[in-house]
Amino acid sequence: MANVYDSAHDLEKALQESDEYKELKTAYDKVMQDETSKNMFDNFRNTQMELQQKQMQGEEITEEEVEQAKKVVELVQQHEDISKLMEQEQKVNALINEVSRIITKPLEELYGVQEQ
Amino acid sequence: MANVYDSAHDLEKALQESDEYKELKTAYDKVMQDETSKNMFDNFRNTQMELQQKQMQGEEITEEEVEQAKKVVELVQQHEDISKLMEQEQKVNALINEVSRIITKPLEELYGVQEQ
Ligand SMILES: [Ca+2]
Ligand SMILES: [Ca+2]
């Protein structure tokens, strides 16, 4: 019987060695190596995080803020390296979501069978 | 190099075979085998989920609902089998949170090093 922590570290290593993660790292490094794209990406992330935080705290998000956020998204989407980075982020997120689905299956099965 | 999905399934198995999970299953089965404790637990879970859903949808939660939820929590905490089940749920959740922390470490490292 494998230990949970050993298995988790094996999985961590497998994720780190996956094409998805490696390509994310390449895309991230490329954006970070250029001052303009780095600033644009940082600005994008900060805007996203501020809005997310407001949403979580139940604060109102103004129409102006929504418009501003849309503009920032449009801007980064037109930037080849940043849009590539965002694409790779989505791929790694999808992989991690799939992994989460797999490892929480026993819990879902436990709570799923008898409730229905 | 281990495959991500193989590693995830190994981890799933290790979690399923862990003491934490086995003890959760035992506690869950015990609660479900008794009609009274099953109903009490279902009522508790439904109340929690309703409030959570309201919160997520930004709906207002009345003082009355908060009071009612507190009473339901107090009731289940006094029930030996249900409080044991909730304790085991917390242990499994802690284990899964720890596992999540381990497997998302490469991502945190990627985004952490260059931003600081
Ligand atoms: Ca069910
Ligand atoms: Ca940082």
ipTM for the predicted complex = 0.81
Superfamily of domain B18-113: YheA/YmcA-like (1.20.1500.10)
Mutate to test the interface with B, among A20, A101, A102 (most CBs of B within 10 A): A102
Quote the pLDDT of residue A114.
44
Q: Which residues of A47-81 are buried (b: 16+ CB within 10 A; e: fewer)?
A: beeebeeeeeeeeeeeeeeeeebeebeeebeebeb
How much is the pLDDT for A56?
A: 83
- Which of B4, B13, B115 is nearest residue A99 as measured by Cβ atoms? B4
Please give the distance, rounded to the nearest whole angstrom, from the Cα atom of residue B27 to the centre of ligand 1.
18
CB B44 within 8 A of CB B76: yes
Nearest ligand by distance to the CA of A115: 1
Contact between chains at B96 and A110 (C-beta distance less than 8 A): no
Rounded to 5°, the CA angle A90-A94-A16 comes to 90
Q: What's the confidence (pLDDT) of residue B16?
A: 95
Percent of chain B past pLDDT 90, that is, above it, reads 73
User: Taking residues B65-88, what's their average pLDDT?
Assistant: 93
Residues from chain B that touch A2, judged by Cβ atoms under 8 A, are 10, 13-14, 17
The mean predicted confidence, pLDDT, of chain B is: 91
Q: Is the pLDDT of residue B66 over 60?
A: yes
Phi first, then psi: what are they for B113, rounded to 5°? -65, -50
Query: Is the predicted pLDDT of residue A97 greater than 70, yes or no?
Result: yes
B59 confidence band (pLDDT: 50, 70, 90): confident
Q: Which residues of B touch A104 (CB under 8 A)?
A: 96
Residue ranges near ligand 2 (ion) with Cβ within 5 Å: B 112, 115-116
Cβ neighbours for A14, distance < 8 A, ≥ 6 positions apart: B1, B2, B3, B4, B6, B7
Written as six digits, the tokens of A51 are 């809005």
| Residue A5, C-beta contacts closer than 8 angstroms, at least 6 positions apart | B98, B99, B102
pLDDT at residue number B56: 83
Q: Look up residue A101 and give its amino acid.
A: R
Q: Is residue A116's pLDDT more than 90?
A: no
Radius of gyration of chain A (CA): 19
Distance separating alpha carbons of residues B83 and B86, to the nearest angstrom: 5
Q: What is the mean pLDDT of residues A3-25?
A: 96
CATH architecture of A4-113: Up-down Bundle (1.20)
Cα(B8) to centroid(ligand 1), Å? 24
- Considering only CA atoms, which of A88, A53, A47 is closest in space to residue A68? A47
**Cβ distance of A102 and B15 shorter than 8 Å:** no
Tell me the pLDDT tens digit for each residue of A36-71: 999 999 999 999 999 989 988 888 889 999 998 999
Q: How far is B113 from chain A (nearest CA, A)?
A: 11
Is the per-residue pLDDT at A72 higher than 70?
yes
Confidence at A1, pLDDT banded by 50, 70, 90: low
Cα nearest neighbour of A3 on chain B: B14
Cα atoms in the 13 Å half-sphere on the side-chain side of A93: 6
Is pLDDT above 80 for B113? no
B104 and A98 in contact by Cβ < 8 A? no
Read off the pLDDT of each residue in A66-89 and give the average, rounded to a whole number. 93
Per-residue pLDDT for B115 more than 70? no
Mean pLDDT (chain A, rounded): 91
Find the DSSP H helices in A17-58: 19-33, 35-56
Q: What number is the average pLDDT over the span A65-89?
A: 93
The two three-digit tokens of residue A47, written as one number: 């805007």
Cα angle: B25, vertex B27, B29; to 5 degrees: 65
Q: How many CB atoms are located within 10 Å of the residue A94 CB?
A: 11
